[in-house]
Amino acid sequence: MREVVLDTETTGLSTSKGHRIIEIGAVELIDRRLTGNNFQVYINPERSVDPGAYAVHGIGESFLADKPVFAEVMQDFLDYLQNSQVIIHNAPFDLEFLNYELRIHNKTQKKIEEYCSVVDTLKMARKKHPGQRNSLDALCKRYEIDNSNRELHGALLDSEILAQVYLFMTGGQSTLFAEGAPQESNKPTISSAPLQQQTPTKVIKASDEELALHEAYMTNV
Of 15, 33, 7, the C-alpha closest to 154 is 7
Is 153 marked active-site?
A: yes
Catalytic hit among 19, 89, 153, 214:
153
Helix (H) or strand (E) holding 155: helix 155-169
Helix (H) or strand (E) holding 27: strand 21-30
The alpha carbon of residue 133 and the mean position of all alpha carbons in its chain are separated, in whole angstroms, by 19
Report the distance separating Cα 41 and Cα 53, nearest Å: 18
Report the distance separating Cα 34 and Cα 110, nearest Å: 28
Q: Return contacts of 94-97, CB within 8 angstroms, 24+ apart.
A: 94/6, 94/7, 94/8, 96/15, 97/8, 97/10, 97/15, 97/19, 97/20, 97/21
Which residues lie below 8 Å from residue 93, measured CB to CB, with a gap of 6+?
217, 218
Provide the angle, in degrees to the nearest 10, between the axes of the packed helices 121-128 and 155-169.
40
Letter string b/e over residues 172-184, b meaning 16 or more CB atoms within 10 A of that residue's CB: eeeebebeebeee
Catalytic annotation, residues: 153
